[in-house]
Structure 1
Amino acid sequence: MGNAQSPTTNQRFITASRAFSKEGLEQKRSLFASLASQSQSDGKFISQSVFQEYYGIHGALMDRLFQLVTQERNDGRLTFEDLIITKATYEKGTPDEIEEFIYRLCDVNGDGALGRDDLQSVLESIERTIFTDEVKETGSAMQNGRMTVFLNSATFSNSKQSMSLKDLKSWFSHVPSVRKFLGSLLMTPDPGRPGFQVPNLDYPSNVDSHVLILKEEFAWHVGGALTPQEAENWKLLYHSSIHGLSFNTFLGNISNGDGPTILVIRDKEGYVYGGYASQPWEKHSDFYGDMKSFIFQLHPQASIFKPSGANSNIQWCGVGFSSDSIPNGVGFGGKPNHFGLYLSANFDRGHTFSCTTFNSPSLSKSNIIIPDVIECWGIQLETGAQNEDNRPGAVKGTVLDRFKEDRNMLKLVGLASSSN
């Protein structure tokens, strides 16, 4: 019987080998030889302990990954053929093949039904793998509830409270950091692996980290929708508990850089949400921005909502207008006075409605929101990155200075008086 199965296994290996270049195969052969030598197997196989040590994955997800890589033989031996066959599917397969593999991977108990307990185990493994050493040492990474927000955004549509492949793809669209993590487990382990990157949060040393809304798991979540360069370093520009609930202070503090910003709000209901603004906050009498911006939820569930393409009502920043049709404040999506997310210029209230701009629901418990804490983080790009003020003809000065100049320009064309 064993001889009858060998040609099938070899054929799968031969077919899988064709997915890689000769150089790529040799690199994988060298990796296998190195790990097999550490496994004390006379170069024949890689043990699970060595496999785990190399790839750095923890918890039940690691067990399930090793089970799938070894073709579910449960013999604890990962052969070179196993490695090539798995990588050919997981890294070089069609999108459907890759998603099917990840679906099976998330079914950590291997019963064919992807349930809530499975996802909880996946999230526990993610937390133990990429967050602090203190978390890695805990018996259950979900004990403090940090990762429950991601579980809360999942949908289980099957009658047995299990997740279909369609449900999983939908969840991944709202939690791209999870999808990136699960799709890069067999990549060379380094800090640049997609889904493993946690932005460095830069804030003054005299600020207690406990007052910050943007915890590391939230930053990881938002960073999953950005480029690796944008997810490296974020600097605290404004915090209402430190600087006061002041729109002018907010604008003044964010004027030091023209890079993208992340606005985070916790309201009186305890809900946490916000938006990523790819463009600087500058005065406009209409929507502006580009399709890189998005809005998000962080608590009690975590979801990202990217532009749907239904309209271009992305970013809003109004200051000094007296017309009700041009509300003063900052916002994202929807339409004036019915935004996807909006904070008034007084920073004392705002609103959030479902909107087609991002295909997003109301981000809080109710449509009218009363802010408790407001934060704004600036994305720090490397020196030499785009700086709008360095462009020929760009208006110099702070955001507030530019608002004053805009106002003067409006007066020149008679628009200012028409809005009074």
Structure 2
Amino acid sequence: MGNAQSPSNNDPRYVSATRAFTQKELEDLRSRFNNLANQSQSNGKYIPPSVFQSYFGFHGPLGERMFDLVTQERKDQKLTFEDLVVAKATYEKGTKDEIEEFIFRLLDVSGDNFVGRSDLETVMIAIFNDILRIKGSDDRSSSHEDIVNIFLNAANFSKQDGGGTEGTMSFEDFRSWCTHLPSVRKLLGSLLLPPDSGRPGYQIPKLLTSKAIDSNIILLRKEYTWHIGGALSHQDLEDWNLLYHSSVNGLSFNTFLGNISNHAGPTVLIIKDKEGYIYGGYASQPWERHADFYGDLKCFLFQLNPVASIFRPTGANNNLQWCAINFSSEDIPNGIGFGGRVNHLGLFISANFDQGHTFSCTTFGSPCLSKTNRILPEVIECWGVTQDATQDKNDAVKGTILERFKEDRNMLKMVGLANSSE
């Protein structure tokens, strides 16, 4: 690998790579390259590692590994224009498999052809410290190291390295990890985009709370917010307002409903139970009285601690969001929740806000979110997502056919056919 040569203008790799760009894109890329190369001692011929890492905003082992991949692992410390074109053609404009293969190789920061837990730890520390600049300075019970570990706990290491001392990640393990951590996938897939381009995976919603509330009681840390935001659109990553917190407002369903009643947009529900587990769900629709499941395919469940994972709808059924208020039938349990089936939801909190349950469910392909199926809430908080005013107005008609045509849905309910699946 160290004997690889930089591609030239006549190199088939470079010629093929240029076809992935428009002429304007190539001109812009050339201009960017020239600006960076002129900052070195190369007479504008190449970019050294220090200039490359400073411009793109990541240093240390992750920055070194990216520079190594972009320069075809030549080890000559010289990034040419042709190198940049070839790398970006694969990393940003290649097929899904090509892009993910590049990212998978990037995770091998040790360069030993294995991706182990220590590699992922190095990458996550770089993401939080160097890229997102979350320094772990919050005065919280969990250390910064603990936060890194919850992301590593979502990974599987099904292979063995050469010595057999440490489990390593297969390519399929990597893909599964990215599915559960879309924020990581977004960020690692945008590292070569210009820093001022609004790179995917970099935005963390601003958390707005009353000044009277002690920040130390808030469950939603910046790292958690970034994690949840990975499953959302750019328009949902502006301001999140604290609407309800049980330590301030009391464990009261009526207070909860009253506090969120004036918020018309999506909400993020977070629960910490007495086992110490933290998890919740993203509700795309307002919490309103229904006798049946409702919602759309934007809903999802998530885990925050001791493992971080996102569980999106699988399409197995439409049992997405649940909000039953003041029903007397045992077939309609009062409370709020997500997924599964009645009395066996993926996540459910009773109307008394003193208990609930969580089961594995096909709606989201999610496991039991806590240590046991029974939930004894310790803290419940709810955040209102402020959506960007430019959000596509057509979002209102997205979702399943039953959600798009409510009159048809009501007719189906009358004859007992709506949501007949589990």
Aligned to 1:99: 100
Aligned to 1:219: 225
Any idea what the Cα deviations from partners look like across 1:340-376, whole Å, max 9, x if unmatched?
0000001011100001111100000000010010000
Pick one of 336, 341, 345 that aligns with 2:347.
Answer: 341
Q: Retained in 2: the 8 A contact 1:147–1:217?
A: no
SS in 2 for 1:12: helix
Aligned to 1:369: 375
Q: Which amino acid aligns with 2:222?
A: E
Give the TM-score normalised by the residue count of structure 1: 0.87
Any idea what the Cα deviations from partners look like across 1:175-223, whole Å, max 9, x if unmatched?
0000000000001113721111111101111212111000000000000
**Separation of aligned partners in 2, 1:385 and 1:229:** 6
Aligned to 2:90: 89
**Separation of aligned partners in 2, 1:243 and 1:309:** 36
Q: Retained in 2: the 8 A contact 1:316–1:330?
A: yes
SS in 2 for 1:229: helix
**Separation of aligned partners in 2, 1:383 and 1:188:** 25
Moved more, 172-181 or 203-212: 203-212
Gaps of 5+ in 2: 138-142, 162-166, 394-413, 415-422
Q: Which amino acid aligns with 2:304?
A: L
**Separation of aligned partners in 2, 1:171 and 1:325:** 37
Aligned to 1:56: 57
Aligned to 1:299: 305
Aligned to 1:355: 361
The CA deviation at 1:158 is 1.4
Any idea what the Cα deviations from partners look like across 1:153-194, whole Å, max 9, x if unmatched?
101111441111111011100000000000000011137211
Pick one of 286, 290, 296 that aligns with 2:292.
Answer: 286
Question: Are positions 1:108 and 2:109 aligned together?
Answer: yes
SS in 2 for 1:144: helix
Aligned to 1:274: 280
Could you say if the C-alpha distance between residues 208 and 386 of structure 1 is closer, same or farther in structure 2, counting changes exceeding 3 Å? farther
**Separation of aligned partners in 1, 2:90 and 2:206:** 33
Pick one of 323, 334, 342 that aligns with 2:329.
Answer: 323
SS in 1 for 2:302: strand
Could you say if the C-alpha distance between residues 241 and 15 of structure 1 is closer, same or farther in structure 2, counting changes exceeding 3 Å? same
Aligned to 1:149: 150
**Separation of aligned partners in 1, 2:197 and 2:289:** 38
SS in 2 for 1:166: helix
Could you say if the C-alpha distance between residues 281 and 5 of structure 1 is closer, same or farther in structure 2, counting changes exceeding 3 Å? closer
Question: Are positions 1:379 and 2:380 aligned together?
Answer: no
Q: Which amino acid aligns with 2:349?
A: L
Give the TM-score normalised by the residue count of structure 2: 0.87
Any idea what the Cα deviations from partners look like across 1:350-407, whole Å, max 9, x if unmatched?
10000111110000000001001000000012357699xxxxxxxxxxxxxxxxxxxx
Pick one of 263, 270, 275 that aligns with 1:264.
Answer: 270
**Separation of aligned partners in 2, 1:115 and 1:91:** 25
SS in 1 for 2:317: coil
Q: Retained in 2: the 8 A contact 1:58–1:128?
A: no
Q: Which amino acid aligns with 2:243?
A: L
Aligned to 2:315: 309
Any idea what the Cα deviations from partners look like across 1:268-312, whole Å, max 9, x if unmatched?
010000000000000000000011100000000000000111110
Aligned to 1:390: none
Could you say if the C-alpha distance between residues 382 and 21 of structure 1 is closer, same or farther in structure 2, counting changes exceeding 3 Å? closer
Q: Retained in 1: the 8 A contact 2:246–2:252?
A: yes
The CA deviation at 1:249 is 0.5
SS in 2 for 1:374: strand
SS in 2 for 1:357: coil
Q: Which amino acid aligns with 2:285?
A: Q
Aligned to 2:171: 165
Q: How many residues align?
A: 383
**Separation of aligned partners in 2, 1:6 and 1:188:** 23
Q: Retained in 1: the 8 A contact 2:58–2:130?
A: yes
**Separation of aligned partners in 1, 2:299 and 2:212:** 31
**Separation of aligned partners in 1, 2:5 and 2:44:** 25
**Separation of aligned partners in 2, 1:236 and 1:191:** 29
Q: Retained in 2: the 8 A contact 1:263–1:377?
A: yes
**Separation of aligned partners in 1, 2:229 and 2:392:** 20
Q: What CA RMSD, in Å, does the superposition of the two structures yield over aligned residues? A: 2.2
Q: Retained in 2: the 8 A contact 1:59–1:128?
A: no
Q: Which amino acid aligns with 2:61?
A: A
**Separation of aligned partners in 2, 1:171 and 1:9:** 39
After TM superposition, list the pairs within 5 Å mapping 1:26-65 onto structure 2: 26-65=27-66
Moved more, 212-221 or 377-386: 377-386
Could you say if the C-alpha distance between residues 175 and 25 of structure 1 is closer, same or farther in structure 2, counting changes exceeding 3 Å? same
